[in-house]
Chain A
Amino acid sequence: MLRIVAVLQTDCPTCRLIAPYLNKLAGASIPVTAISQDPEEVTNEFARQMDIRFSIERDPDYVTSKRLQVVTVPTLYVLDDREQVVREEPGFDKKALNEIAALFGQAPIATPYDGAPQSKPGCTSRHLEAVTADGTAPALDLHSTRGTSASVIELSDSEDPFEYCYRVFGDALPVIPPTRERVDQMLRACDRDAREIIARVPPCYGEATVEKIAANAVMAGCRPEMMRVLIPLVRAACDERFNAHGVQATTHFAAPLIVINGPIRRELGFYSRQNVFSNVARANSSTGRALQLILLNLGGARPDSIDMSALGNPGKFSYCIAENEEENPWEPFHVDAGLTREQSAVSLIAAEAPHGVSEHNARTARGVLKTISYALTTVWSYRFCGFFEATVVLGPEHVHTIHRDGFGKQDVKHFLFENTGVPLRCYDGDEPGEGKHQRGTYKEIRIDGEPCYQKFRDPDSIRVLVAGGTAGKFSAVLASWSTGPRGSQAVTYPI
């Protein structure tokens, strides 16, 4: 019979990340034993914080660690009856965890959308460290799964609750006071422990317990059923790939744009037609505002301190749209991210404010897309190529013209990719300019016979979705912030 031995250190973030998955393995009747390299007191505290449901043995003299030749913590060992290592898995990796579950005949335990990264390297095993006089470091409480109840604030009769909340909790607009009754109503709408920590919100890493999310949702004007959306939304916002730490602190214009897809649009009243970017529906406005209040009040990126945006973004009040899937002849946006059409989803994109593109006279797909390509040329700064991305929100009238000419969504991306470039003549002269000194890395192409540098690194740097009303030949271009693993990556979570 096989069993799992996991070697851990209580202050290793990756060990804390993997602990809930070990709970799941143990919960599936798989024999799991952890080996802690730390003293009894911090090991017990770790077990309490992480709600550990498997046995933990201490390894004070690193006897077991040395026998197993541990290099990295965590390392999972699958041992057979003769204590031989069948599989050794250092660090955290969801694919490996699911393969280990499969060795025991169990279904996958790690899903792609639970807020944790797909993989994370571990730390060096303590028995390899030089011995120091001060012993082990205290356990950092960065990964426990349960937080504490929110404190309560009693306001006297003389205090106006709206003025108080505006002054202490708000986004420079009045909010609905998060009374116990209103917050409890939110909590009743979601079947979760109020103290469950959904995520830690960067850059100050405040614990977003279900209760704290509910309190901010009340203030934003959300109806209780919106908790269905807010839980995966907060997970998505704190996904390492999205890099809320950078998005919230940058001097740039970026703000998290929420895109809602699937049946939940109708179920909860998310609006996708005219005025989609503005003040048209309570679902859009209150969800966007709830995320912003959570980022402010739990993440700590206040606009007068840690959020250093030079000019800001009106989307920092609320920035939430639904895709107009009914007017979209192609696959919806969340299907591009690998989900099914019937699966409701929430996506996050770090984006500037929408830049309008008017084209009322072009009669062909190529004509409409050419106009959009000129707007795309100015993303970030016109001479800077290859580092940035853009989201193109096509209005229904433009979509109809483009689709009528036989263009699929990939054709749109490819056409925009091949037709967006900056003429080489723009780089003449010695005057310094942003994007000029990187020109050695740019790809030269010809657009309508003119030598240009290609603006984007690949067609997938241009996201395409459909939204807006059916009257008016308009689309919008939304420029990105810093992109890829070194910046912010768009994320999509199922609801």
Chain B
Amino acid sequence: MPITLVNPLNETPKDAATPAPKLVSLRGRTIALLDISKPGGSIFLDRVEHLLRERYGVAGVIREMKPTFAKPAPPGVIEKIRSADAVIEALAD
């Protein structure tokens, strides 16, 4: 006899977002650098910012930091980097 199971998995509908188009070049673009506030993130991103400006000719760099690495970025932080063409995030120690 066939058996009927109640689906125990997440069935909450999701809104699918289209990924941003891949950048062909960094030149003239604005890049956001997001530090999640882990130790060493700023050192890494300082170097990335230097390379972006010197070697790749970006138009601008937005630097932002999450108040804690242990929680999602608050809306205020997201809002500040929303205008960027791409985001580079420094994730770990």
Contacts and interface: CB of A to CB of B under 8 A. Distances in A.
A243 interface: yes
Given A154-B4, A155-B3, A297 B70 contact: no
B47 interface: no
Contact of A205 (B12, B67, B68): B12
A219 B7 contact: no
A153 B4 CA distance: 6
B72 interface: yes
B4 A180 contact: yes
Given A157-B2, A486-B70, A297 B8 contact: yes
Q: How large is the interface on A (under 10, 10 to 19, 20 to 34, 35 or more residues)?
A: 35 or more
Contact of A293 (B8, B11, B68): B8
A245 interface: yes
A272 B60 CA distance: 60
A352 interface: no
Interface string B59-73: 000000001111110
Given A147-B12, A156-B2, A157-B1, A487 B7 contact: no
A189 to B, nearest CB: 15
Contacts of A293: 8
A194 B49 CA distance: 52
A155 B6 contact: no
Contacts of B67: 486
Contacts of A466: none
A152 B7 contact: yes
Contacts of A183: 6
A48 B3 CA distance: 34
Interface in B1-52: 1-13, 39
A168 B92 CA distance: 32
Interface in A233-261: 243, 245-246, 250-251
Contacts of B2: 154-157
A297 B9 contact: yes
Contacts of A178: 5-6, 8
Q: How large is the interface on B (under 10, 10 to 19, 20 to 34, 35 or more residues)?
A: 20 to 34
B3 A161 contact: yes
A152 B70 contact: no
B6 A204 contact: no
B70 A155 contact: no
A9 interface: no
Nearest to A202: B72
Contact of B10 (A153, A207, A214): A207
A211 interface: yes
A374 interface: no
Contacts of A437: 39
A207 B11 CA distance: 8
Given A207-B12, A300-B10, A177 B5 contact: yes
Contacts of B9: 168-169, 206, 297-298
Nearest to A213: B8
Given A243-B70, A486-B71, A488-B70, A179 B8 contact: no
Contacts of B69: 482
22 contacts: A150-B7, A151-B7, A151-B11, A152-B4, A152-B5, A153-B7, A154-B4, A155-B4, A157-B1, A159-B3, A169-B9, A204-B10, A206-B9, A206-B12, A207-B11, A215-B6, A219-B8, A251-B92, A297-B9, A482-B70, A486-B68, A487-B70
Interface of B: 1-13, 39, 67-72, 92
Given A152-B4, A159-B3, A246-B71, 13 more contacts: A141-B13, A151-B7, A152-B6, A153-B4, A201-B10, A206-B12, A211-B6, A216-B8, A243-B70, A243-B71, A293-B8, A297-B9, A482-B69
Interface of A: 141, 147-148, 150-157, 159, 161, 164-165, 168-169, 177-180, 183, 200-201, 204-207, 211-212, 214-216, 219, 243, 245-246, 250-251, 293, 297-300, 437, 481-482, 486-488
